Amino acid sequence: MKPAAFEYARPASLDETCAMLASAEDARLIAGGQTLVPLMAMRLARPKLLVDIARIPTLTFVREEADAIVIGAATRQCVVEHDSTVRAQLPLLAKAMPFVGHAPIRSRGTIGGSLANADPAAEIALVAVTLRATSICRDVTRTFDVAASEFFLGPMLTALPAGACLVAVRFPVWCEERVGVGFQEVSARASDFAFASAAAQIALDENGICRRLELGIGAITPCPLRLDGVAKALIGTQVEPGSVRAAVSAALATIEPLADLHASAEYRRRAAATLAARAVAEAYAAAKAAEGAHAR
Amino acid sequence: MRVDLTVNGQTHALEIEPRMSLLDCLRERLLLTGAHAGCEHGVCGACTVLIDGAPARSCLIFAVQADGYAITTIEGVPPGPGELSPVQDAFCESHGMQCGYCTPAMILAAHALLAGNPTPTRAEIVEAISGNICRCTGYAQIVEAIALAAERLRGRNQPAAKP
């Protein structure tokens, strides 16, 4: 399990990084390396040049904007997991973080690394799609945004062009008074790859009526999937369990779930329906309990 | 490529190939063989070291990436030559091991846990070692050992109870 030989560079800035990516052949970015290094050890990846962006200060931050939290791509997962701003403003991301790998993986792995790797079971990608986050990307000529729902194209495949670098991700923050979140996952062992996962965020008005809802499922389809039909069906209601189940079943009727050795397509569809309903119920209960503050 | 690695408080200037993992560098160049090579692709956890106090897999970081970090291996854990840390002591006393292959990594994971949480619940102990595979013990005595170490560390430097 030894990787093939490569050259190593540690550019000081984002400009230098983009210039390197543009001129070098077969260059790969590395930050935490928690997915790339195993691929290199198995020689499924054989980059000629590794460009280490882990210590570029402009890629390592959690920044509060008017209606969003922007997280630098090279920010380590353990930092985001324990960040007080993320906990207060992005409770769904905070709730999902402990499900990402094990603690030793999160101590090196980065937010951008997980997104750029685009594993169908990845929790951070699921939260990004569910909350309609935006990927901020950059190459030698320009900086451009890609919506999370358009960023993920398939397993290990993103819309990030060759020669571009994921710089940051912008998560919208909900300003409603009563917001609740739910995150559910099933896997063989704690912190292992999910067979199915679901993320939900709900805003309620003072009468307990749902005013806003986002629900997403992960590990079921080649990319995380936001179930907009469920939101449409439940907004304006009191989110009765019966109508949640009906809306989720309707939304899942047309998808083609992934199948592998661990979980069949039928199992994944069933698990997704159950977890989605549980995530919505969890989010609803948290929003109801929230008294004019974001539910944790 | 030249790299300055700070391991157990000592800085070493080394000339290494970029593809050398921190694990191989520790074992082969610095002869610190307490970090064990198991799967070498981030699954087993036997190669765990502390990087700036946090547990990390030394097989998933190249040594050239690790300059400037404070790296702690099991060799850096004992308070003095021939001594054991309270966690190591607790592992001996509870027999939290069998073949010993996963033990240094388990002890480092326990040290990282107890540094931030002096009163871990059983669930928190299990979570802290969830990235470390043991194929001998069934984990029960490892969990016991960490709970015992936590208790001992809490009682350290406390006045003895009067009879």
Render pLDDT for A123-159 as a digit per residue (tens, 0 to 9).
Answer: 999 999 999 999 999 999 999 999 999 999 999 999 9
Its CATH architecture, for the domain B2-76, is Roll (3.10)
* pLDDT given for residue A290 in this prediction: 87
Global pTM reads 0.94
Structural domains of chain A, with CATH: 7-52 (3.30.43.10), 57-172 (3.30.465.10), 178-289 (3.30.390.50)
Q: Which residue of chain A is at minimal alpha-carbon distance from B51?
A: A107
B130 CB neighbours in chain A (<8 A) are 102-103, 189-191
Averaged pLDDT, A174-178:
95
| pLDDT cut 70: percent of chain B above it | 98
Instruction: Outline which parts of chain B fall under CATH 1.10.150.120.
Output: 86-155
Q: How many alpha carbons lie under 13 Å from residue B143 in its C-beta half-sphere?
A: 15
ipTM over 0.90: yes
Bridging pattern class, strands A194-204 and A225-226? unpaired
* pLDDT given for residue A295 in this prediction: 46
B19 CB neighbours in chain A (<8 A) are 2-6
**Residue A102 is nearest to which of B61, B65, B130, comparing CB atoms?**
B130
**Residue A8 is nearest to which of B57, B64, B126, comparing CB atoms?**
B64
* pLDDT given for residue B156 in this prediction: 80
* pLDDT given for residue B162 in this prediction: 64
* pLDDT given for residue A1 in this prediction: 81
Its CATH architecture, for the domain B86-155, is Orthogonal Bundle (1.10)
B63 CB neighbours in chain A (<8 A) are none
Tell me the residues of A at the B interface, defined by beta carbons under 8 Å apart: 1-8, 30, 33-34, 37-38, 41-42, 50, 52, 54, 78, 101-105, 107-108, 189-191
CA distance A46 to chain B (A): 11
Q: At what angle do helices A241-252 and A265-289 cross, to 10 degrees?
A: 140
* pLDDT given for residue A192 in this prediction: 83
A52 CB neighbours in chain B (<8 A) are 65
Say which residues have a Cβ less than 8 Å from residue A265's Cβ, sequence separation at least 6: A256, A257, A258, A259
A-to-B residue pairs, Cβ atoms closer than 8 angstroms = 83
Q: At what angle do helices B140-155 and B103-116 cross, to 10 degrees?
A: 40
Averaged pLDDT, A254-279:
96
Quick check: A296 pLDDT over 60? no
B65 CB neighbours in chain A (<8 A) are 8, 30, 33, 52, 54
Binned at pLDDT 50, 70 and 90, residue B155 comes out as: confident
Render pLDDT for B118-154 as a digit per residue (tens, 0 to 9).
Answer: 999 999 999 999 999 999 999 999 999 999 999 999 9
Cβ of B60 within 8 Å of Cβ of A33? The answer is yes
Instruction: Outline which parts of chain B fall under CATH 3.10.20.30.
Output: 2-76
Render pLDDT for A206-231 as a digit per residue (tens, 0 to 9).
Answer: 999 999 999 999 999 999 999 999 99
